[in-house]
Amino acid sequence: MDLYSGKINKLIEELSALPGIGAKSAGRLAFYLINEPEEHVKRLTTAILDAKANIHYCSECFTLTDDEICPICRNTGRDHSVIMVVENTRDLAAYEKTGRFEGVYHVLHGAISPMLGIGPNDIKLKELMKRLAGDVKEVIIATNSSLEGETTAMYISKLIKPTGIKVTRIASGVPVGGDLENIDEVTLLRALEGRTEI
């Protein structure tokens, strides 16, 4: 026996498919949305559709942006010769929040994982190598300290070494497997300042 109408069940099902939303939260959200004024629900669905339709990769660093080139890459006040490599846009945001990194970023959109069948060609690695043809002094590898993050760091380091460009790795102290976005700013800054050449 279904507790709710088919349409409510469908809404709960879709919401509970979102990351971090369990069945209970999905139910709460579903009833919240149903009771909200139609205007609000429309604003929400429009924001989702609009983001989906208009957000794409920055043509330089591959972060998600509304523009052809993101505001960080466009900023001539930043040091474009220092590139910090992160796994995703959320990690970029975590470092950006510290307000202390003056270089630019490169977003890989994933990490190498032989177990999941994700190889070097499945992340934005070729794109990173292309950027190194420019005037680059240092590549800081800030992938997560998970097995995949470490594998990726090693792989990138081996790839860049022959170019003579300095490659550094953020200091450990970032919890293993931890999403960078969940780590406090002091820890991130310490990891960044304590980076070592690899």
In the complex, the residues that contact Zn ion under the rule CB under 5 A are 58, 60-61, 70, 73
In the bound state with Zn ion, the residue whose beta carbon lies nearer, of 73 and 136, is: 73
60 vs 91 by CB, closer to Zn ion: 60
**73 versus 142: smaller Cβ distance to Zn ion:** 73
* Distance in Å, CB of 168 to Zn ion, minimum: 20
CB of 67 to Zn ion, least distance (A): 9
Strand partners, 90: none
CB–CB of 152/146 below 8 Å?
no
**Least distance (Å) from Zn ion to the CB of residue 60?**
5
Give least dist CB 194 to Zn ion, A. Answer: 26
| 90-126 core/surface letters (b: 16 or more CB in 10 A; e: else) | ebbebbbeeeebebbbbbbbbbbbeeeebeeeebbbe
Residue 118 neighbours by CB under 8 Å, 6+ apart: 110, 111, 112, 148
Residue 73 backbone phi and psi in degrees, to 5: -70, -30
